[in-house]
Structure 1
């Protein structure tokens, strides 16, 4: 499934803001992807963590069609590796990040933090600069 499905994030924020002042809440934004070998076996299957850029590049390499799950607001695709093992890759793109970042003003949050900021993803910063006034803090 998605790294942070919008429907789940919305549910957590609704609860969080019902018991904590929204001004004290920063939403965590995932900036990574998961490549899952299939079939998934609970407690056994381990995903490879990759960057969103690498997820897109891997999709291009395997000539796949990137799909979009409306409920989670997240892109994903399937591919078969050279060893014959099928994989599912879930990641974030500008569409999914836009949907998540729009929750900040909707819930009146203080802002957002990025999980795995070392994975540079240009789409994230295009969305942030489009939705928010970014201030430099010294």
Structure 2
């Protein structure tokens, strides 16, 4: 998750929590400023200004970062194709996911997946060895 610093000249804590919950719940959908601002009953222009003042980033950038974070989790925990992950996290295409993913992580989804698989396999092998050692060391 993206860390957000709070600035008391922007959204209230309650407003921010409501907006972030809405974004994260509907991350897989097309999110417009109007829809998000409607959650806290303010105009989209004013909302965008308050959100940026509160978090330091625009609502659009927050949405993109959250989509990339969710894609990272899915790459690590599933065998879904990148194109499927892209659609499930709200990107319009695999190429859009790849572009934004590389922008925020410095790597492509294709580069990240083998890294996570290797870590998982190492952990699994280590657990098996530790289990074997505990049974055979008695």
TM bracket, shorter-chain basis = 0.3 to 0.5
Q: Which has the higher contact order (CA 8 A, sep 6+)?
A: 1
Bigger strand share = 1
**TM-score (norm. length: structure 1):** 0.33
TM-score, structure 2 as length reference: 0.33
Q: Higher helix share goes to which structure?
A: 2
